[in-house]
Amino acid sequence: MTSNFEKYDMYKFTAASKVLPLPSWARVTNLENGKSVIVRVNDRGPFVPNRIIDLSYAAAVRIGIWPRGTGLGRVQAIDPRHPQELPPSDVVKTPDSHPAIWLQVGAYADA
């Protein structure tokens, strides 16, 4: 179960975030190849420093993060009442000394 009380499905375009409200929508762009995906934020996490969002398997594959597991990305919140995207600076403020954001696709105890 997710924090939003939904059954997790790794084949849906979903994500976990500690800074975006539940539920919400976000566009995640892989900064290395420019591919992006729109995900529904329905869970809390990641609980690792310097990471602001965890993507489902399907979302990670779509933007080319999988199989590496992490990558540089941009996260833009999407307001469903106003479909235009908010600028990234309005979503998450990162310290100037750490402008890079890493995305974690998964963490597993067993390979």
Q: How many residues does the chain have?
A: 111
| The predicted structure's pLDDT at residue 95 | 45
| The predicted structure's pLDDT at residue 78 | 86
Chain segment 45-61, per-residue pLDDT in tens? 999 888 889 999 999 99
43-62 burial, b for 16+ CB within 10 Å, e for fewer?
bbbbeeeebbbbbbbbbbbb
Nearest to 35 by CA among 14, 61, 69: 61
All residue ranges of the chain with pLDDT < 70 are 80-105, 107, 111
Q: Any idea what the Cα angle at residue 104 is, between residues 102 and 108, rounded to 5°?
A: 150
Distance CA 16, CA 54 (A): 5
Sign of the torsion formed by the C-alpha atoms of 78, 107, 57 and 44: negative
| The predicted structure's pLDDT at residue 96 | 47
With H, G, I as helix, E, B as strand and everything else as coil, classify residue 60.
helix
| The predicted structure's pLDDT at residue 33 | 93
